[in-house]
Structure 1
Amino acid sequence: MKNRCLLLTTSLVFLAGTALGHAAPVTENWENNCTKCHGDDGKGQTKAGKKLQLKDYTDAKAQAEMKDEEMIKSITEGINDKAGKERMKAYKADLSADEIKDLVAYIRKFKA
């Protein structure tokens, strides 16, 4: 009986952790969601990044022009051009609020 209780408790703890979900490491989120356009180094020198004329996140001037709140909004809601065409997808369904804040902090670390 004692072993059954231990097994049940262990199973419930595992399931609770799975249901709550765990935030992915920021480097994993950057790699999976951002590098295609922004590049590993944040310079935006990928094929897609050049086409979209993305900012170089290593540039201190570009970083100074970006506000955290605007970055959070862009990641959460995505970015469309003036014609309504999607330039960057919204990640509100894919990333938690904490993961989005972590991405903003990660981007800030690119500044030279």
Structure 2
Amino acid sequence: MTVMISTIAMLWNMLYNALFDRLRNRYGFAMSLTTRVLHATGFEAGLILAVVPLAAWWLTISLMEAFWLDIGLLLMFLPYTMLFNWAYDALRERVVQRRMARCEVP
């Protein structure tokens, strides 16, 4: 079950961030703290929708019991998701800036 949940999370991460980046490019909103909190919350909410039914089926428990089990993980991963994406954005910006600076130097 762990492998399945990890695979779902990885695929959802790729899809969710691609869609989020399209929205961001289209509407041009900044990645403020509020936006980052909404981004992380949206990601985790989508993951809950995918994982809770799987966990309920796998563990032969009700959807509500699976949801309550998942809340514990959510409380841990929500801050992690936000901080991970924030760090990724900051590091990517530095890499892009460095590459652009190299291209400008004759």
Which structure carries more strand by proportion? 1
Determine which structure has more spread, i.e. the larger CA radius of gyration: 1
- TM-score, normalized by the shorter chain, greater than 0.5: no
- Measured against the shorter chain, the TM-score band is 0.3 to 0.5
Length-normalised TM-score, structure 2: 0.35
Which structure carries more helix by proportion? 2
